[in-house]
Amino acid sequence: MIKKAQSYMLTLLIVSLSLNLQAQNSVRFEKYKTNAEVQKSLNDLQQNSPNRTTLHKIAESPGGEPVYVLEIGKDLKNVPAIFVAANFEGKTPISTEGALYMARMLLDSVSYTRKVKWFILALPNPDAASGFFSGIKWERSVNSAAVNDDKDDQLNEDGPDDLNKDGLITLMRVEDPEGTYLISGKDPRIMVKADPGKGERGKYKLYPEGLDNDGDGEINEDGIGGINLGINFPHLFKTNAQETGLWPGEAPEVYGTMKFIFGHPEIAMIFTLGTSDFCIAPPRGGRKGGVNMESLRVPARYATIIGADPEKTYTMSQVVEMFKTNMPARGGREINSETVAGFLGLGANVNPLEDDLKFYKDFSDKYKSFLKTKGVTTERMSADPDKDGSFELWAYYQVGVPSFSMNLFTPPIISDQKPGEAASKEAGIKPGESDDREKSILAFIDKKLNGTGFVEWQPFNHPTLGKVEIGGIAPFVTSTPPPAQIDSLCRIQLPWLLTLSKKLPDLQLMKEVITDLGAGVYRLEIYVENKGVLPYPTAMGSKNKQPAPAVVVLEGENLEILEGYQRSPLGDIGGNQVKKITWTIKTDKKTLKAHIDSPLFDATVKQIKIGG
Amino acid sequence: MRKLFTILAISLIAFTVVAENKGKVEIPLRFDRYYTYEEVVEALKLLNTSYPQLTKLDLVGKSEEGREIYALTINNPKTGEALSKPGVYVDGNIHGNEIQAGEVCLYFANMLLTKYGENDKITKVVDKNVYYIIPVVNVDGRAHFFLDAQTSSSDRSFRVPRDDDRDGLVDEDGPDDLDGDGNICMMRIKDPLGDYKTDPEDDRLMIPVKPGEKGEWTILGQEGIDNDKDGKLNEDGEGYFDANRNWGSDWQPAYVQNGAGNFPLSGFGVKAIATYIHQRPNIIVNFAFHNSGGMWLRAPSHKDDKVDTRDVAVYDLIGKNALKITPGYVYQPSYDLYDTFGDTDSHMFNLEGSYTFVGELFMRSQETYRENVSKPLPPAAETESSSARRGGNPDETRELVKFNDYLGLNELYKSWKSYKHPTYGEIEIGGWMKMSSRLPHPFMLPELVHRNAMVVLYAAEQTPEISLEIFEVKEIGKNLHQVRVRLKNEKGLPSMSYKAISSKLYTQDILKISGAKVIASGKITDLRNNKISYQEHKPEVIYTAVPSFGYAEYQFLVEGKGEIAVNYSSRKAGSLTKTFKF
């Protein structure tokens, strides 16, 4: 009977295993998935590993589509988690595919999921993502929130129109005495800005393909939607700008994402698949602003209260001390660097901190070698710079964890151009060099896409502009490779993110040293090591105090702590670094216990033997 | 018989206790007392059921601890739908301890409803506007302020736990009511090396020792023990989450703006109220009541934010009159106090286009014990600090203690009593109690609520009253008429703020002609010299705004015959239609 049951169980196991594989394989990467297909893939992945996965609905888009996070490793506790998000801007379907591909790789793997939990947000912006699949293709990045872009008396009344009926929204060029564009001498398909300094005078005006549907003199100024989720996050949020939303997190998809992430303090790293690429180059520096905490001035208003000289500069800790000494307690609120930063009106950090740039640079070098080992030798056009209000910047600055973004596809730089002519190796193509950039794109279209992807300029009789020509680079050409490449692009590049997952900080109680001082009094030293490459937290995380503190907790019967505390916060601990905590204790017992209290590190209780 | 007597006696005692301690909630509401959270809800429900024609009670949302946040709408449906009228929004008590802010809101509602139809001034403002009143934003905070031991400044926070001392535990070491009197007072210890000595004029007070003098006391801080045994006292109390730093306009994270919360609108009540307000785009003026210090604060709230001088003029109209209605207050931009980010007033002014005032209720300088009060002592410079209670100015402190003795029924100041502290040993506990310092004693409350509510009433009187006049119709060709229209505002609030116009917050007021073809239209920039600035596009729609006590004139060239309608519609100033025949 027992044997029978066993074999029955075994059969069941085999059946379920094979089912599992089958279903995992049922998520295929041969074409771009519609919203419904993405949802189905997520459901399939979840249902095939019900013991390991959960689907969390974190929001509903204004267009009525659900937004899901797939949790892989729901059975894991006291492990760090990695949040993988893709395609906030909705116009890079390859990144949504990449997120699903990651999920499939992770579900097939043991090595990357044994001690790390993963959260996958593959399709945060379903409203915008539908733009790729609509009858008329256009690069939509806004959700379906009711936003009256031109603040007139109608909503969404003047979006793009497919005038030439080719199913694509491209450009219109029209001869106009006030025009600022010329046809490029390098390639007649390219329009370039005339340079009056070189004696050039513009001849054409450029418009997006469409009509002035509402007769206000503007073309396509109020299409469907909405808020661009890729610029609706709080870090460097732009108020009163196009498509950013009224306030950060106004979009329910963004609000839901932030709420989910702050609801999971175990999240220790964030990956973003989209338009920027922090694997290649760190978050942008060189922004104006930011504060040097070592050189602060105290405004006169406070200087008199705390006895500071408004002409002199002080360090943050000096100013905190002066406030503590000279200002009475404030209703239970402690005077600390946060409150003082508030008094002094210090702003937010806007440039990545030096200490963090070290690991960004190190990993960037390693990533380039990694790509070489994968046989990737072709140079490609550089990824977009990070955008103010983007998810990946918010992850670094406000969540305070290592944030790595990856752009899975930009057009290759075709070899008959010398690198540097079309694009410099590191910096890529600078904005403004639009004809060079377009020339590269056209070379890619000609050589790799057999010319599809460029709509030849064709005359069209426009109702308000008169004789125009419609043409230009088709939407999605530069961001979305042919579906046949999805699988290989993901297979080659995404494993780097798996590699990065092995760099997570990993705090462990390493060893302890006990010195018997006599009469039941001991000195106890516990060494905690970070076995990971990454620090905990990052310098930015240390500054914004968001990452959950790791605390060494000492417990024992009849334990009296003469020096030190039962709960000792570890503070910052660098990658591969060791930190020592010292106590003087008194006990008549032979053992005591210690563990690390943290939502993301190993909390195994260690028995410590004292004396004989 | 004897049993019956006992029952009667018990119920009598019970009744007396209720009557004395709480007072029954009835209409008209009384304002010589403070309402608990539950009583505020009861009062709102009672106002709603007593005035069903004029009021509507909405559940706006629920707090972190599940308490209900209510909004009372006062609108006379006979004079129009709520959304068709200018909206006046009033809230209070976003900081849990600032309870009298709730009473101001209740008083304002009570006044509008009980005097409607009896007092012409009230009847008029009720008929012209709609009022949205949320007396208690921080419902958990208000509840806990009554329920728990507090200082007068504690319990500001929303119930969003935060690990202030970064030890992996949240809110584990707040102050403790060691002597069980319902107050968090101060602790002091005898110490010859201390910085303070007993005030020779009043032995309940301490004054700082001068250099060379022998000390007597060291102040140990707020009543409490080291709950988490980390060597620090009271370093991780409730929150801290300041709901008035959690709004969307210029929100900054907590390392920049203390109390900001993890992300904008993360507080349940903040999100709920932001949504509630966003759904009522007719709101044109906001009041948010706080304590204390006696101030009317307006935008901007930080130095990098700028307010158009024309908007400042509108603010000044109300702010400068408010100074006379509430003597002793100051009126100033909020950043003059200190920079804040993510506060309610910026959100309402910058993102919802509503003129917003913060009223900092109550001045301790009104707690007088003195023959001549015509010259009040200068108000404490820092409102959020409790500097006054520890004798920033010894004379002021002595007077405040006398105020407690002769007017405050000893309900404000606690004399020092010895206590055996687990860490410090023999200490003393005493000082200012929960209901002191930032709250008027109940006997002073009626005047406070009335004066401050009257400022709201004045603003309500200044909501735009727009008239539409077709002041010239002239035939200038076959079937072609020149039609001139004047929009005039009789009141001080413009139909749209200059901030809203310049940042293109929403569609401006619309002026339209229907029933005929509009050939051209434009603004009359100089009527006497007949100067018109014609629109290049869409002549049938004119986007406009009507300034404070001002007017705007437009000209239409219209082709057609018969009846023509001129329609004006505004998000915040209502809509009007006039018809005429050629």
The answer to whether residues B322 and B458 touch, using CB atoms and an 8 Å cutoff, is yes
pLDDT value of residue A328: 59
Residues of B in contact with A339 (CB under 8 A): 258
The answer to whether residues B539 and B556 touch, using CB atoms and an 8 Å cutoff, is yes
Instruction: Answer yes or no: do A332 and B175 touch at CB < 8 A.
Output: yes
Same domain, B68 and B98: yes
Q: Indicate whether B276 belongs to any domain.
A: yes
Final residue belonging to a domain, choices B432, B461, B490: B461
**Can you tell me the mean pLDDT for A417-439?**
51
CA separation for the pair B165, A250 (Å, rounded): 31
pLDDT value of residue B284: 98
Q: Domain residues for B527?
A: 466-581
Instruction: Answer yes or no: do B387 and A398 touch at CB < 8 A.
Output: no
Q: Is the pLDDT of residue A265 over 80?
A: yes
Instruction: Answer yes or no: do A153 and B507 touch at CB < 8 A.
Output: yes
Query: For residue B482, what is the domain's CATH number?
Result: 2.60.40.10
Same domain, B263 and B284: yes
pLDDT value of residue B131: 98
Alpha-carbon Rg for chain A, nearest whole angstrom, is 29
The answer to whether residues B244 and B334 touch, using CB atoms and an 8 Å cutoff, is no
Q: Indicate whether B573 belongs to any domain.
A: yes
CA A555 to chain centre: 40
Residues whose CB is less than 8 angstroms from the CB of residue A554 and which lie 6 or more positions away in sequence, other chains included:
A524, A561, A564, A566, A568, A583, A585, A592, A593, A594
Give the tokens for residue A84. Answer: 């993988």
Residues of B in contact with A213 (CB under 8 A): none
Which chain B residue's Cα is nearest to A261? B262
CA separation for the pair A95, A486 (Å, rounded): 10
CA separation for the pair B572, B462 (Å, rounded): 13
* Residue pLDDT, tens place only, A438-491: 888 999 999 989 888 999 999 999 999 999 999 999 999 999 999 999 999 999
Residues whose CB is less than 8 angstroms from the CB of residue A473 and which lie 6 or more positions away in sequence, other chains included:
A170, A438, A441, A442, A445, A453, A454, A455
The shortest C-alpha distance from A205 to chain B (Å) reads 19
Q: Is the pLDDT of residue A434 over 80?
A: no
CA separation for the pair A139, B372 (Å, rounded): 74
Q: Indicate whether B76 belongs to any domain.
A: yes
Residues of B in contact with A342 (CB under 8 A): 256-258, 338-340
Q: Is the pLDDT of residue A421 over 70?
A: no
CA separation for the pair B495, B501 (Å, rounded): 11
Length of chain B: 582
pLDDT value of residue B506: 97
Q: Is the pLDDT of residue A13 over 60?
A: no
Residues of A in contact with B266 (CB under 8 A): 258-259, 262
Q: Please state which of the ranges B190-204, B228-242, B383-397 shows the lowest mean pLDDT.
A: B383-397
Half-sphere exposure of A1 (CA within 13 A, CB side): 0
Better pLDDT: B381 or B563: B563
pLDDT value of residue B23: 74
Same domain, B514 and B447: no
pLDDT value of residue A17: 47
Same domain, B342 and B455: yes
Touching check for B254 and chain A: CB below 8 Å? yes
- Pick the residue of A147, A151, A561 with the most B CBs within 10 A to test the interface with B by mutation: A151
Touching check for A196 and chain B: CB below 8 Å? no
Residues of A in contact with B513 (CB under 8 A): none
Identify the CA nearest to A164 among candidates A211, A115, A206: A211
Give the tokens for residue B293. Answer: 């210090």
Identify the CA nearest to B228 among candidates A558, A567, A605, A569: A567
Chain B residues 309-368 within an 8 A CB cutoff of chain A: 338-340, 347, 350-351
Touching check for A342 and chain B: CB below 8 Å? yes
Q: Is the pLDDT of residue B22 over 90?
A: no
Same domain, B354 and B493: no
**Can you tell me the mean pLDDT for B320-345?**
94
Same domain, B129 and B256: yes
Q: Averaging pLDDT over each range in A21-25, B5-9, B82-86, which range is the top one?
A: B82-86
Q: Indicate whether B378 belongs to any domain.
A: no
Classify each residue of A52-79 as buried b or exposed e, where b means 16 or more C-beta atoms within 10 Å of its C-beta: bbebbebbebbbebebbbbbbbeebebb
Q: Is the pLDDT of residue B156 over 50?
A: yes
Touching check for B267 and chain A: CB below 8 Å? no
Q: Is the pLDDT of residue B239 over 70?
A: yes
CA separation for the pair B93, B289 (Å, rounded): 7
- Tracing tokens 């986007």 back to the chain, one arrives at B543
CA separation for the pair A605, A607 (Å, rounded): 7
Q: Is the pLDDT of residue B424 over 60?
A: yes
Residues of A in contact with B152 (CB under 8 A): 331
pLDDT band at B18 (very low <50, low <70, confident <90, very high): very low
* Residue pLDDT, tens place only, B267-285: 999 999 999 999 999 999 9
Same domain, B311 and B452: yes
pLDDT band at A562 (very low <50, low <70, confident <90, very high): very high
**Can you tell me the mean pLDDT for A497-523?**
96
CA separation for the pair A130, A62 (Å, rounded): 13
Identify the CA nearest to B338 among candidates B307, B277, B278, B295: B295
Residues of A in contact with B153 (CB under 8 A): 330-332
Instruction: Answer yes or no: do B156 and A331 touch at CB < 8 A.
Output: yes
How many structural domains is chain B composed of?
A: 2
Identify the CA nearest to B67 among candidates B125, B141, B17: B141
Touching check for B249 and chain A: CB below 8 Å? yes
Q: Indicate whether B214 belongs to any domain.
A: no
User: Does ipTM come in above 0.90?
Assistant: yes
Q: Is the pLDDT of residue A167 over 50?
A: yes
- Tracing tokens 């983007």 back to the chain, one arrives at A390
CA separation for the pair A304, A275 (Å, rounded): 50
Residues of A in contact with B302 (CB under 8 A): 345
Identify the CA nearest to A272 among candidates A405, A100, A391, A395: A405
Same domain, B353 and B471: no
* Residue pLDDT, tens place only, A275-330: 999 999 999 998 877 667 778 888 777 887 788 888 888 988 888 888 887 775 54
Mean residue pLDDT of chain B comes to 92
pLDDT value of residue A330: 46
Classify each residue of A550-573 as buried b or exposed e, where b means 16 or more C-beta atoms within 10 Å of its C-beta: bbbbbebeebebeebbbbbbbebb
Q: Indicate whether B434 belongs to any domain.
A: no
Q: Which of A328, A348, A549 sits opposite B252 (nearest CB)?
A: A348
Instruction: Answer yes or no: do A544 and B255 touch at CB < 8 A.
Output: yes
Q: Is the pLDDT of residue A400 over 70?
A: yes
Burial of A611 (0-12, 13-18, 19+ CB in 10 A): exposed
Chain A residues 524-583 within an 8 A CB cutoff of chain B: 543-546, 548-551, 565-567, 569
pLDDT value of residue B14: 44
The shortest C-alpha distance from A520 to chain B (Å) reads 22
The shortest C-alpha distance from A143 to chain B (Å) reads 18
Q: Where are the alpha helices (DSSP H) in B116-174?
A: 120-128, 139-147
Q: What percent of chain A has pLDDT over 70?
A: 90
Give the tokens for residue A455. Answer: 């709509």
* Residue pLDDT, tens place only, A202-258: 999 999 999 999 999 999 999 998 999 999 999 999 999 999 999 999 999 999 999
pLDDT value of residue A612: 59
Instruction: Answer yes or no: do A567 and B538 touch at CB < 8 A.
Output: no
pLDDT value of residue B376: 55
- Tracing tokens 């310092």 back to the chain, one arrives at B437
For A311-350, what is the HEC assignment?
A: CCEECHHHHHHHHHHHCCCECCECCCHHHHHHHHCCCCCC
Q: Please state which of the ranges A1-5, A363-367, B309-313 shows the lowest mean pLDDT.
A: A1-5
pLDDT band at A404 (very low <50, low <70, confident <90, very high): very high
Query: For residue B330, what is the domain's CATH number?
Result: 3.40.630.10
Give the tokens for residue B285. Answer: 């003026």
Q: Please state which of the ranges A3-7, A439-443, B353-357, B563-567 shows the lowest mean pLDDT.
A: A3-7
Which 3 state secondary structure label does DSSP give B350?
Answer: helix
Same domain, B349 and B447: yes
Q: Indicate whether B331 belongs to any domain.
A: yes
Which 3 state secondary structure label does DSSP give A356?
Answer: helix
Mean residue pLDDT of chain A comes to 90
Instruction: Answer yes or no: do B252 and A347 touch at CB < 8 A.
Output: yes
Domain architecture of chain A: domains with CATH: 33-146+226-289+348-372+386-408+485-504 (3.40.630.10), 148-224+429-477 (no CATH), 296-344 (no CATH), 507-609 (2.60.40.10)
Query: What one-character DSSP code corresponds to residue B492?
Result: S
Same domain, B9 and B49: yes
Q: Indicate whether B95 belongs to any domain.
A: yes
**Can you tell me the mean pLDDT for B364-388?**
63
pLDDT value of residue A451: 84
Touching check for A345 and chain B: CB below 8 Å? yes
Q: What percent of chain A has pLDDT over 90?
A: 77
The answer to whether residues A82 and A131 touch, using CB atoms and an 8 Å cutoff, is no
**Can you tell me the mean pLDDT for B106-123?**
98
Same domain, B453 and B482: no
Same domain, B269 and B356: yes
